[in-house]
Structure 1
């Protein structure tokens, strides 16, 4: 193999950052590492001409999607505000399906998962997308097991990444897979980014939080819980604060938040711990105490349940490495 042919699919109103994170990361891998099997990245789009991205900037396509043939190393479909029109374009979807069959890896970034799903490439697979569009993807494609939490998911040879800059995490994962962790670290350092957040790290809750509940009572309690995770937040205590019965409180939370009070409290405490782990040097016991966990072990169990990794690994992944 003389090179790894990496094709990013764009279309009208695609997200430029989805595309640029991939192409820039691969170009830096070539420049920094001089790999024996370098990347050749190309943008393919309908007709091969210019596309106006969602930002209004115009990007010149390098390949005509209709004329492109394999084999390809990796096919990556970008997301963007134009994804619904792209997913509804039978010709575009057909060419994505055709090229996927000639690719070693297939991937999507952000809402590009909608195009892969329309092509049937996610059927029976676990996949992610931008948190804002996860419910829509699940409703339209019930055969896809949509998980809105991770930054990216690998299901055999098919990869799906979450929102926009998760394209960079995905690209770093490709570089590590193809050329080893050291080159991925070098690229991450030169991009001045964290060294590869784990793929199963949740999309940060500070950005993905749902809108405040419409119910005044639930909204006040949610604000209290998130502001005081170390307080007594048992269902009985919260019900007493709200002046309702625990049973009625559970009914309100289930209706307006989608979780029972105890489950919401556990999630809020775990998310608060994630923020402390990322922004402080508190020891685990200190983080646990400040977030209302009885012990560091209780924090660890909740953290693994929510994010899929121990809090120590989470903190280590977010810690910038000292350049050599």
Structure 2
């Protein structure tokens, strides 16, 4: 019997808990493979972010689990000292620890991710990197294994992670059966960058750089080579490169490509053909757009449009 502890706390996301638990329940199939206990700093009730209440079976004191599941919240969870102490104590005693979505912030706060690779929801990956510089953040991964510590991307990626745990414990055949039963991918194609819909750029301190950024975002299909952008800004290409590196942490050409990808994403979900999206966003050809999508999003434009254009009701 594999003992699983599900950490429950006020404000946790219900699907972060329910998704992995349902995977393990299906894998158990009444054969005693997994025993799941809801655990918290103390017994009682917690209220999830959606308002649904959940009963805590056991207080954390003295508990040891083969797997500890740590769900996230709507945004980075508040690092309550009692909750962090609970995570640290349970995580140190567990055979393995798995965080779903922003649950990675709790692991990082407890020191369990120091020196390890980890991921979290794409919207908060940079926040995790800034708050916990000892963590090597992998923003595009659906889940990351670093020794006995696992972290996953946003919300439903907890199902992907739980399937991986089942495969580690009982092999791919059982994991595949569970995936079929739940009507989900055994391995979801592409990374989580395909779900990101906004290129968030911090305000540029230098007015020169702000002018360049505005020009690119206003007209992604324009002539935005390094030379032309530097000429328009009245600086040398070397100086403009330095500004991009210092203030944005990326190259000028990288910023242009990301801006064009975002423009192409909007065009595709609005119904544009791949050819039209490629031309209007500045990529010029279908093949150039396809290579950029594979490089940045891990999927081709046609697949992206099918996944995000409509639910097909």
TM band (smaller chain): 0.7 to 0.9
Q: Please give the alpha-carbon distance, in whole angstroms, between the structure 2 residues aligned to 1:177 and 1:319.
A: 32
Q: Please give the alpha-carbon distance, in whole angstroms, between the structure 1 residues aligned to 2:208 and 2:116.
A: 39
Q: Please give the alpha-carbon distance, in whole angstroms, between the structure 2 residues aligned to 1:230 and 1:215.
A: 24
Q: CA deviation at 1:93?
A: 0.6
SS of equivalent residue, structure 2 residue 157: helix
Identify the match of residue 169 of structure 1 among 149, 157, 163: 157
Q: Please identify, of 224-233 and 302-311, the stretch whose mean Cα deviation from structure 2 is larger.
A: 302-311
Runs (5+) with no aligned partner, structure 2: 167-173
Over 3 Å counting, the alpha-carbon distance change for 1:312 and 1:42 in structure 2 is farther
Over 3 Å counting, the alpha-carbon distance change for 1:196 and 1:170 in structure 2 is farther
SS of equivalent residue, structure 1 residue 66: coil
The equivalent of 1:126 in structure 2 is 117
The equivalent of 2:257 in structure 1 is 266
Conservation of the 8 A alpha-carbon contact between 2:4 and 2:35: yes
Conservation of the 8 A alpha-carbon contact between 1:124 and 1:144: yes
- Given the alignment of the two structures, is residue 76 of structure 1 paired with residue 72 of structure 2, yes or no? no
Runs (5+) with no aligned partner, structure 1: none
The equivalent of 2:12 in structure 1 is 16
The equivalent of 2:170 in structure 1 is none
For the aligned residue pairs, the C-alpha RMSD in angstroms reads 4.1
Identify the match of residue 295 of structure 1 among 285, 292, 306: 285
Q: CA deviation at 1:156?
A: 6.0
Over 3 Å counting, the alpha-carbon distance change for 1:216 and 1:197 in structure 2 is farther
Q: Please give the alpha-carbon distance, in whole angstroms, between the structure 2 residues aligned to 1:182 and 1:131.
A: 29
Q: CA deviation at 1:305?
A: 2.6
Aligned 1:1-324 pairs, distance under 5 A: 6-11=4-9, 13=10, 15-17=11-13, 19-23=14-18, 26-27=21-22, 35=29, 41-51=36-46, 59-71=54-66, 74-80=67-73, 81-86=76-81, 89-99=84-94, 101=95, 103=96, 106-119=97-110, 121-131=112-122, 134-135=125-126, 137-138=128-129, 141-155=132-146, 158-162=149-153, 166-175=154-163, 178=166, 179-180=174-175, 184=179, 187=182, 198=189, 200-202=191-193, 204-207=195-198, 209-280=200-271, 282-283=273-274, 285-315=275-305, 318=308
TM-score when normalising by structure 1? 0.71
Q: CA deviation at 1:297?
A: 2.9
TM-score when normalising by structure 2? 0.73
Over 3 Å counting, the alpha-carbon distance change for 1:208 and 1:180 in structure 2 is farther
Q: Please give the alpha-carbon distance, in whole angstroms, between the structure 2 residues aligned to 1:318 and 1:157.
A: 34
Paired residues, number: 303
Over 3 Å counting, the alpha-carbon distance change for 1:260 and 1:28 in structure 2 is closer
Q: Please give the alpha-carbon distance, in whole angstroms, between the structure 2 residues aligned to 1:156 and 1:316.
A: 36
SS of equivalent residue, structure 1 residue 202: helix
